[in-house]
């Protein structure tokens, strides 16, 4: 399988793609990223990803101007070159290279890395799968709304989850559920769909944004409000969303079975509607 990487205006071989040792992304996690889903060779939710990338780079004051058309072309080229059918595009922008010092120079030239990964998505067909999740304290920095590669707390949580045989680690702050290590979290109680408000305490997921539109267009009830760990355990249905996981059912949280360990009907309906909107 070919594996081309786009690195600073060049398409090169994966094994030849290298970054300077004083790149600030490498030394300080002074970098941002996006993961974009590709299904049947189609780039999904491009505008939302561009908007969030602009938000992240602006919040961190990167010296970065985004050429939306050029970036799209690069994505298309990589999909073709790498013969990608289903998978993700990974894009990372670092602030650039500088002699190691905490304070950054404002005129650095960002490093831009883009490549693709193959993925089998958890689609709502006969193989649709529900997973176990565990809860984990939200020990991240106070700006998870910026999509930075500063992900140590997320990787500790995700590894803990993986060691416990769980698919995802759901974060709690006090007794409030914020989101998860690599996804947004939703509960359903008495037909009401509930998720944490998109403030500075969570990442405003692109899949979350798209799903909210679907919820409204299907006449379902959405409450963007905080909910507790107890409400999570007692939910009728639980699911997570992300570009990599789409809508993935959670059928057990810690030792607590959700919906008797079965995928809920509203979750499945939402997943089908999301998939229909993707392949239309």
Residues 23-82 that bind ligand PLP (CB under 6 A): 35
Task: Establish whether 147 is a catalytic residue.
Answer: yes
Query: Of the candidates 207, 252, 259, 267, which one interacts with ligand PLP according to CB under 6 A?
Result: 207
205 binds ligand PLP (CB under 6 A): yes
Exactly one of 95, 132, 182, 226 binds ligand PLP (CB under 6 A); that residue is: 182
Residue 238 as a binder of ligand PLP (CB under 6 A): the answer is no
Among 196, 208, 259, 267, binds ligand PLP (CB under 6 A): 208
Question: Least distance from C-beta 197 to ligand PLP, angstroms?
Answer: 14
Note whether 243 binds ligand PLP by CB under 6 A. yes
Among the candidate windows 10-18, 155-163, 189-197, 240-248, which touches ligand PLP by CB under 6 A? 240-248
Question: Residue 242 interacts with ligand PLP (CB under 6 A)?
Answer: yes
Our finding on whether 122 is near ligand PLP (CB under 6 A) is no
183: contact with ligand PLP by CB under 6 A: yes
Q: Which residue is nearest to ligand PLP (CB)?
A: 205
Site membership for ligand PLP, residue 87 (CB under 6 A): no
Which residue among the candidates 119, 147, 204, 226 is catalytic per the annotation? 147
Q: What angle do CA 137, 204, 138 make, to 5 degrees?
A: 5
Applying CB under 6 A, which residues contact ligand PLP? 35, 179, 182-184, 203, 205-208, 241-243
What residues act catalytically? 147
């Amino acid at each position: 399988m070919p594996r081309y990487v786009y690195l600073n205006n060049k398409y090169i071989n994966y094994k030849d793609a290298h970054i300077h040792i004083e790149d600030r992304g490498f030394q300080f996690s002074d970098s941002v990223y996006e993961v974009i889903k590709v299904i049947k060779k189609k780039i999904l939710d491009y505008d939302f990803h561009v908007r969030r990338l602009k938000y992240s780079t602006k919040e961190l004051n990167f010296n970065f101007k985004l050429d939306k058309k050029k970036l799209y072309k690069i994505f298309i080229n990589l999909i073709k070159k790498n013969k990608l059918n289903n998978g993700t595009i990974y894009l990372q922008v670092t602030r650039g290279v500088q002699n190691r010092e905490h304070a950054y120079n404002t005129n650095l030239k960002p490093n831009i890395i883009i490549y693709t990964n193959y993925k089998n998505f958890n689609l709502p067909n006969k193989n649709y799968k529900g997973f176990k999740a565990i809860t984990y304290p939200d020990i991240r920095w106070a700006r998870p709304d910026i999509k930075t590669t500063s992900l140590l707390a997320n990787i500790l949580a995700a590894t803990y989850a993986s060691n416990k045989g769980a698919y995802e680690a759901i974060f709690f702050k006090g007794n409030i559920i914020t989101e998860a290590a690599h996804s947004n979290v939703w509960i359903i109680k008495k037909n009401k769909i509930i998720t944490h408000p998109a403030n500075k305490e969570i990442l405003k997921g692109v899949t979350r944004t798209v799903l909210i539109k679907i919820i409204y267009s299907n006449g379902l009830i959405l409450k963007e409000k905080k909910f507790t760990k107890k409400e999570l355990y007692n939910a009728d249905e639980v699911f997570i969303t992300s570009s990599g996981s789409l809508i993935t059912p959670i059928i057990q949280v810690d030792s607590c079975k959700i919906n008797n360990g079965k995928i809920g009907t509203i979750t499945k309906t939402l997943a089908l509607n999301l998939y229909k909107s993707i392949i239309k």
